[in-house]
Amino acid sequence: MKLPKGIAYRPIATWSVILCVASVACGWVVAQGLYPLMLACVPLMVLAVWRILHIYGNSIRRVTFMFDAIENDDLSFRFNEDPSKVDNTMLNVALNRIKEILSQTKARAEERERYYQLIMESAQTGLITLNDTGSVYQANGEALRIFGVSQLHHVRQLEHSLPEVSRALATIRPGDKLRVSCTTESGDMALMLGCSKIMLEKRPRRVISVSDINNELNEIQVESWNKLSRILTHEIMNSLAPITSLSDTLLHMDRALEPDLERGLETISATSRRLMTFVEGYRRFTRIPAPQREPFEVRELVRQAVVLTAAEEDALRIHVDIEPAETMIYADKAQLGQVMVNLLKNAREAIAGRHDGEIEIRSRIDAAEHVIIEISNNGGAIPAEVTENIFTPFYTTKPDGSGIGLSLSRRIMQLHGGSLRLSCNTDRRVTFTLQIE
């Protein structure tokens, strides 16, 4: 960036020397009384002053242009540094140097901003930055997912879908912690909100963290059940195996057994086998394979589930509404088919014996482009004491039930990144809702 000596100051230095010489000459002419010579000195002085002012004006205009460009966030300019074409080349070099420093600073700031944005998007907690009037400056993907929106510009956007959350976001202040319960298309949520204060552009901003406590509790619960189930299956199978083997061996001995002894051994063998069958239910719950995803249509999934469950279809009214009709999902077809079969079996059992029994299967796409499938029946509300435990593994009210159908179905949906919930429970309508990513 250095210029050769004599180039940087040559124009203004030259005209400054000319002005000085002309001024001295004018003074000498006046002192000698040679007034006619003033006709030569004065124009030269005027020309020198004009050239100096012209160079100064050009310099001011360049500096002003640079500040205007910086104010408009435009750093694409560059001044000519060719001394043969412009005056005061050193100023142009200095201005270009300032521009390069600002460009580097801007690039580093943008790089830091991308870094912080990546951290914000990678967070498992929703983060929102907003001012005191409720305008949202930034919201990460997790916050948008929790609220079920694609964009968020103001907290008033949530007044219709999540009024409790909208009020909480508007009223929470730095240092506060609020717990908000709400219901969305993805299920019931218990949100924990925390607030901090930060100054941006000399203005106060609130940074609010949003966590879905229900999801965290569900994950902990599932992991706890998995650990417990693995321990139980291991211990029970180790105990049952020798009992079953010994009882079968004694029953198939060549010599005849006393009737009471034979009945006792048969009872032991049958009981052991029933227990082993029950333990296999534990294993199925804890050893669900990773989903093998493939694309397929929702109507094909529904059709197969109906065929497998509606053995008495003539007496059973099933209404199917899929909108749009060609809705595609990308998931494990066998696993989702098992979920649909479990839900349809439960719906059939709920309306058994009712002449007006109906089952409705409805599919649609929500605003976040998730596929929502609802399986409804009019078999009467599920008792409150049962709804609290319907997704608890091995909990059942059926005499011959295993209690793993709904818990297994929910686990499958979680492995797909979706959800299964009881979305409606009234005497006129009971609905289970699947959300598929």
Which CATH number belongs to the domain containing residue 127 in this structure? 3.30.450.20
Same domain, 282 and 301: no
Please check whether residues 409 and 309 belong to one and the same domain. yes
Q: Of 113, 134, 160, which residue constitutes the final position of a domain?
A: 113
- Per-residue pLDDT band for 73 (boundaries 50, 70, 90) equals confident
Tell me: do 429 and 300 sit in the same domain. Answer: yes
Amino acid type, 246: L
In angstroms, rounded to a whole number, what is the distance separating the alpha carbons of residues 44 and 20? 10
Burial of 252 (0-12, 13-18, 19+ CB in 10 A): exposed
pTM of the prediction? 0.49
Range of the domain at 75: 10-113
pLDDT tops 60 at residue 4: no
Give the pLDDT confidence score for residue 400 in this predicted structure.
61
Answer for the pair 405, 349: CB distance below 8 angstroms, yes or no: no
pLDDT in tens, 279-312: 665 566 556 778 899 999 999 999 888 887 765 5
Q: If pLDDT is split at 50, 70 and 90, which confidence band does 185 have? A: low
Q: Do 298 and 432 reside in the same domain of the chain?
A: yes
How far is it, in rounded angstroms, from Cα 432 to Cα 382? 12
Q: What is the CATH number of the domain that holds 314?
A: 3.30.565.10
Q: What single string gives the DSSP state of each residue in 1-33?
A: -PPPTTTSSHHHHHHHHHHHHHHHHHHHHHHHT
One domain for residues 379 and 254: no
The number of domains in the chain is: 4
pLDDT over 90 (residue 374): yes
Give the integer Cα–Cα distance in Å for 26 and 19. Answer: 10
Q: How far apart are CA 306 and CA 347, in angstroms?
A: 11
Tell me, yes or no, whether 72 lies in a domain. yes
SS3 332: coil
Lowest mean pLDDT among 49-53, 74-78, 221-225: 221-225
Tell me which residue of 316, 338, 300, 326 sits closest to 434, measured CA to CA: 338
> Given 269, 286, 303, which residue is the final one in a domain?
286
Distances (CA, A) of 222 to 11, 212, 225, 250, 408: 82, 16, 5, 41, 10
Residues 87, 198, single domain; the answer is no
Residue 272 and residue 317 in one domain? no
